């Protein structure tokens, strides 16, 4: 549990509140949305030998919400832990948690994905880590990890028949498009832009192939290309092999 907490703090795309960190370490990588949290932050601090602490975030966005956030007790602790786990290893763990939760029906029942921006701001803010940040962690992870590769392939679905979870994610992006650019969605955290996604490049949303190419999900593409049946049923994959436009 302490290992998970350390890796989450090492690579999270925005600062984590104590409640968020407790939730995230309670999720088994690849499993679904936690129905019950059985530990407290005080217990987590004890397990982590007080290597983590809480402090007020200095960014405008989170200072406005008056939230406390988790950090390492000292810079030397982070420097030590970065010799234990690389950023790639930490992001691989977090990516598996994020994608696993998105695939869980209970995550969608939480209502977050249907919220407006103002409704999301009134919520605790926990769920946006999974939905908004999965691709950032995947891009920094070892996507050849077999468990992560399997989760990503399940999340994307088939080349021209994407999963309903992937389509729901596209809908989520489109509900948050830039006010001056309808086909652009900015993902922000800690007062900084994490990513700018050009949603038009993901259309049609039934095409998982567009998402695989846009986010450079090589492990998913290799899984598809490794299947004779897939190459037979989806001849457009051959253009990806030849380097042509997908």
End-to-end alpha carbon distance in the chain: 42
Locate the domains of the chain by residue range: 2-241
Does an H or E element contain 106, and which?
helix 105-109
C-alpha span between 162 and 156 (Å, rounded): 5
Q: Predicted confidence band at 58 (pLDDT cuts at 50, 70, 90)?
A: very low
Q: What is the pTM of this model?
A: 0.83
36 pLDDT above the threshold of 70: yes
Q: Predicted confidence band at 189 (pLDDT cuts at 50, 70, 90)?
A: low
**Which tens digit of pLDDT belongs to each residue from 202-231?**
999 999 999 998 999 989 988 898 888 888
For 175-243, give the DSSP string.
TTEETTEEEEEEEEETTEEEEEEEGGGG-STT-HHHHHHHTT-HHHHHHHHT-HHHHHH-TTHHHHHTT
More confident site: 115 or 13: 13
More confident site: 11 or 37: 11
Q: What is the DSSP letter of 238?
A: H
What's the maximum distance between 2 C-alpha atoms anywhere in the chain?
Answer: 56
């Amino acid at each position: 549990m302490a290992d998970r907490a350390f890796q989450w703090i090492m690579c999270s795309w925005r600062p984590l509140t104590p409640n968020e960190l407790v939730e995230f370490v309670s999720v088994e990588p690849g499993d679904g949305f936690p129905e019950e949290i059985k530990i407290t932050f005080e217990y987590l601090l004890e397990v982590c030998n007080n290597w983590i602490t809480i402090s007020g975030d200095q960014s405008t966005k989170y200072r406005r919400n008056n939230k406390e956030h988790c950090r390492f007790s000292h810079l030397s602790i982070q420097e030590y832990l970065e010799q234990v786990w690389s950023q790639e290893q930490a992001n691989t763990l977090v990516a598996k948690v994020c994608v696993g939760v998105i695939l869980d029906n209970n995550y969608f029942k939480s209502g977050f994905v249907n919220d407006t921006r103002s409704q999301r701001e009134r919520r605790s803010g926990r769920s946006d880590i999974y939905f908004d940040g999965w691709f950032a962690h995947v891009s920094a992870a070892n996507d050849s990890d077999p468990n992560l590769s399997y989760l990503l392939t399940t999340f994307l679905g088939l080349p021209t028949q994407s999963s309903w979870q992937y389509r729901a994610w596209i809908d989520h992006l489109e509900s948050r498009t830039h006010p001056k650019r309808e086909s652009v969605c900015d993902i922000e955290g800690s007062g900084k832009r994490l990513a700018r996604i050009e949603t038009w490049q993901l259309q049609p949303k039934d095409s998982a192939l567009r998402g695989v190419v846009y986010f450079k999900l090589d492990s998913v593409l290799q899984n598809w290309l490794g299947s004779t049946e897939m190459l037979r049923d989806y001849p457009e994959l051959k253009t990806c092999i030849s380097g042509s436009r997908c």
